Amino acid sequence: MKITFLGRYKGSTVKKFKINPRKVTIIDVTAENKGFTVEYKTQSRQCSGYQLQYAKNSSFSNAVNVTIKQNISCRKVSGLQNNAAYYVRMRAYTKVKENGKVKKYYSAWSRKKKVKTRDVKLVCIDAGHQQRGDSSQEPIGPGASSYKAKVASGTSGVATGKPEYQLTLEVALKLQEELMRRGYEVLMTRTTHEVNISNSARAAIANNARADAFIRIHANGSDNANASGVITICQTPANVYCGAYYNASRRLSELVLEHFSAVCGCKNGGIWQTDTMSGINWCTVPVTILEMGYMTNPAEDRLMSDPAYQDKMVQGIANGIDAYFAL
């Protein structure tokens, strides 16, 4: 600032004053899926913008800085860890030109806030089978001496002629949409028919993603054309490959079965516990196989291809998943 003297005083002098912006007031920090949103009071004077800082510790070591424009009153931060605590603080800055260079002056930091990102569950969905089966062999479990075909093409509808791999993907894609609408993160093992993914590879997709639940969608078949109803499948407590996940898999199987049959009004065929399924034996996450109905039963086959009934099946599965995570 230049000061010019008046009256009997002559000349002038230049004085410099450092005027920092006012401290920022954070109104609220709201948890989001793998992130959070910060709302704060904006400043119209002596403010060029804001700096948002967040870290996983209260001392803000290794903190991440985000620059925000002056007229913006909230900011969403995404891409963070699931169900993790973060500390947040802000400060305002103003830009001043000195000796031909622009310099930033910052306010003091706001009070820090703590927020925990939402606990978003990851559900992996496997649409059973594929367009062309792969009869080459793989072990039925880690280190097993017994082998089975890597993946079959499945059965087909006696009334509709629809192949099982097509039906399972139709339902799986609808389930993906419904679970995402309910706030879940969803991972699909396949979204097309033209794949070659063995049962152990499907389990590996769920395992590597550390899925909170693995839902394998199938349809049943029988020599008895009158056989009907829904069943779920899980391992036994004595399973040498993934017995540690029996309790969780059994509970998942029970709840999906219960809610599916309730919504669809179909026969509840119970839970089949077996250690013969390679797609279960390779799992290191809670898993269930859902056999939605019998494609060898003409009435049930037609029903499973009806879009309105598919919507019911999806609601039943999703309700069962909700119940599983609510426990």
How confident is the model over 267-314, as pLDDT tens digits?
999 999 999 999 999 999 999 999 999 999 999 999 999 999 999 999
Which domain CATH number covers 80?
2.60.40.10
> Are residues 45 and 26 part of one domain?
yes
- Please give the Cα distance from 282 to 279 (Å, whole number): 6
Overall domain count for the chain? 2
User: Which domain-ending residue is among 116, 151, 176?
Assistant: 116
Q: Is residue 281 part of a domain?
A: yes
Predicted confidence band of residue 19 (pLDDT cuts 50, 70, 90)? low
Q: Is residue 15 part of a domain?
A: no
> Are residues 222 and 135 part of one domain?
yes
- Supply the pLDDT for residue 69: 93
Give yes or no for a contact between 260 and 230, defined as CB atoms under 8 angstroms apart.
yes
Q: Is residue 5 part of a domain?
A: no
| Per-residue pLDDT tens digits for 87-107 | 999 999 999 887 888 889 999
Give yes or no for a contact between 115 and 85, defined as CB atoms under 8 angstroms apart.
yes
> Are residues 80 and 229 part of one domain?
no
> Are residues 237 and 168 part of one domain?
yes
Range of the domain at 43: 20-116
Which domain CATH number covers 183?
3.40.630.40
> Are residues 104 and 134 part of one domain?
no
Q: Which of 306, 247, 234 is nearest to 274 (CA)?
A: 234
Stretch 205-212: mean pLDDT: 98
User: Which domain-ending residue is among 97, 116, 135?
Assistant: 116
Give yes or no for a contact between 171 and 216, defined as CB atoms under 8 angstroms apart.
no
User: Which domain-ending residue is among 76, 97, 116?
Assistant: 116
